[in-house]
Structure 1
Amino acid sequence: MIKRIFQVLVAVLILGLLVGKIIFSLPAKTTNEQRIFTSKEISNLQEISLDGNFDVNVTTSDSKDLKCSFSKTKTGYIYNEYELESRIENNVLYVTTNIENKMNFVLGGETLSVNIDIPKSYKNKLSIKSKLSKINILNSNSEDIECSTTDGETKISLDKICGNITVNTHLGDIDLKLPKDEKFNLSAKSRLGKVTNNLDLNVDSSISEKNINLLSSDGNITINGN
C-alpha cells in the first residue's frame, strides 16, 4: 500500500514538472499602454501615490505633462490576472493594481512595470509601495519622497536634495546616491544588513530639513556621492 502511494506521488510530481516545463516554455506575451495626464489635469496635484505589485521607474523631464507607461509580461495561464489602473482623485494621482486582495489561479508567470515621467515643476509628495518588486527613482524634485517594499531593491539617485526621504524595506537593499556637496540629516539602520555611508562628512544632525530616514530589516544600505 505504501509503495503504491509512493508511486502515485512520484507520478503526480513528474506530471507537474512536465506541465510546468510546457507552460514556461510558451512564448511570453507583453502588452504596453500609456496614459498621459495633461498639465491642466495635474495643475493642483498634491500627491503621486503608486501602490501595487509592479516594478517602478520614476524619471523627470521638462515636459508639462505627466506620462505613465504600463507594461505587463505574461507567460502561461493566469486566472484573474492583475490590471493596472490610474486616476486622479481629490488632487492625488493613484496608480494601483486592481485585484490586490483577490486570489489568483496561476499556471505561469506575470510581471508588471510602471514607468512614470514627472514634470520637473512637480515638487509635492511622491509615495511608492511595491511589495515584491524594484523601485528606481532618478532625479525627483519632490520635497517628500516615501518608498516602501517588502522584498525588492530601492534605488534613488538625486542631483539635488529637495526635501525629506523615507525608505523602508524588509528584505531588499537600499542604494542612495546624493550630491557630493550637500548636507543632510541622516538616520540609516539595518537590523541584519550592512550600512555603508561614503558621504559621512555630509551628515549634519542640526539640519531641520533634508531629513533622510532609511530602514531595512534584512538588507544592505549604501550611500554614495553622485
Structure 2
Amino acid sequence: MIKKMLQILLVFMLVIILVGVGIVYFLPGKTINEEKIFTSQEISNLQEISLNGNFDINITDSDSKDIKCSFSKTQKGYVANGYEIESKIENNVLYVTTNNQKESSVVLGGETLKVNIDIPKSYKNKLSIKSKLTPINISNSNSEDIECSTTDGKIEISLDKICGDISVNTHLGDIDLKLPKDEKFNLSASSRIGKVINNLESNVDSSTSDKHINLSALDGTITISGK
C-alpha cells in the first residue's frame, strides 16, 4: 500500500515538474540590454581584447574609433544567482567576463547571455575568446593574433584578410572558417571524431613563415572555404 502511494506521489510530482517546465517554455522571456563604449582615448594603448565567459559572442568591425560593447541577458522563469557581465580595461587589456562568484542556481527557468562587440578596423592586436557552452562568431577582424576556444559550441570566423596567426579549438562543436580565396597560409587542422573539409587546399603552403592557422576539434566538423 505504501509502495503504491509512493509511486502515485512520484508520478504526481513528475507531472507538476513537466507542467512547470512547459509553462516556462511558452512564457515570454525578460530581456535586459546594456551598452558600454570604450573611447579611442581609453583604448589608445590597448594590447589585447580578452573575452571569457558563458555567453554568445559576436565580433564585428567598423570605421569607428571606439569599441562598442552591447550586452543582453534574457531570463525565463526564476533564476537565483544569475550571471552578470563585467567589462573593464586593466593593464592595457580589455576584459569582458561573466561574474560567476556564485554559481547560477536555476530553480525553474534559464538564462541566455549575449555579447556583441564592435571593434575599430584599426585595432590589430590580440583577440582572445573563451566561451563555455555557447557559439562564437567573428566577422572581419584585423587582429594579428586570434585565439578562440569553446567547450560546446560552434565557432564561425569570416575574414576579408588574413592578418596573422589563428588558433581555434572546440571540444563539441563545428568550426567554420571563411578566408580570402587568393591568400596563402600555413595550416594544421584535425578533428578526432569529425572530419576536415578544406576547399582551399591550393592555398596551403607549409613554407609560409606567418599566417599560421591551427584548428582542432574533439567531435565536430572543420570546414575551410573561400569568400
Shorter-chain TM-score: what band? over 0.9
Structure 1 stretch displaced more, 173-182 or 17-26: 17-26
Question: For residues 1-226 of structure 1, what are the structure 2 equivalents within 5 Å?
Answer: 1-99=2-100, 102-226=103-227
CA distance in structure 1 between the partners assigned to 2:21 and 2:155 by the alignment: 31
The CA deviation at 1:22 is 2.4
Distance change (3 Å), C-alpha of 1:100 and 1:130: farther
Per-residue CA distance 1:62-92 (angstroms, 9 max, x = gap): 1000100001111111001111110000000
Letter in structure 2 aligned against 1:111: T
Letter in structure 1 aligned against 2:210: E
Structure 1 stretch displaced more, 160-169 or 96-105: 96-105
The CA deviation at 1:106 is 3.3
Aligned residues between the structures: 226
Using the size of structure 2 for normalisation, the TM-score is 0.97
Letter in structure 2 aligned against 1:172: G
The CA deviation at 1:197 is 0.2
The CA deviation at 1:3 is 2.0
Letter in structure 2 aligned against 1:40: Q
The CA deviation at 1:103 is 4.3
CA distance in structure 2 between the partners assigned to 1:180 and 1:79 by the alignment: 49
2:80–2:104 contact (8 Å) kept in structure 1: no
The CA deviation at 1:109 is 1.7
CA distance in structure 1 between the partners assigned to 2:50 and 2:198 by the alignment: 29
Aligned CA-pair RMSD:
1.0
- Structure 1 residue runs of 4+, over 3 Å off? none
CA distance in structure 1 between the partners assigned to 2:165 and 2:102 by the alignment: 31
Distance change (3 Å), C-alpha of 1:14 and 1:216: same
2:70–2:116 contact (8 Å) kept in structure 1: yes
Distance change (3 Å), C-alpha of 1:129 and 1:70: same
* 3-state secondary structure, aligned to 1:16: helix
Distance change (3 Å), C-alpha of 1:103 and 1:217: same
CA distance in structure 2 between the partners assigned to 1:8 and 1:130 by the alignment: 41
Q: Which runs of 5+ in 2 are unaligned?
A: none
Q: Which runs of 5+ in 1 are unaligned?
A: none
CA distance in structure 1 between the partners assigned to 2:25 and 2:219 by the alignment: 31
* 3-state secondary structure, aligned to 1:150: strand
Percent identical across equivalent pairs?
Answer: 71
CA distance in structure 1 between the partners assigned to 2:47 and 2:21 by the alignment: 46
CA distance in structure 2 between the partners assigned to 1:100 and 1:61 by the alignment: 34
Per-residue CA distance 1:107-131 (angstroms, 9 max, x = gap): 1121111000000110000000111
* 3-state secondary structure, aligned to 2:8: helix
2:83–2:104 contact (8 Å) kept in structure 1: no
1:36–1:66 contact (8 Å) kept in structure 2: yes
Letter in structure 1 aligned against 2:61: T
Per-residue CA distance 1:140-187 (angstroms, 9 max, x = gap): 000000000011000000000000000000011000000000000000
* 3-state secondary structure, aligned to 2:18: helix
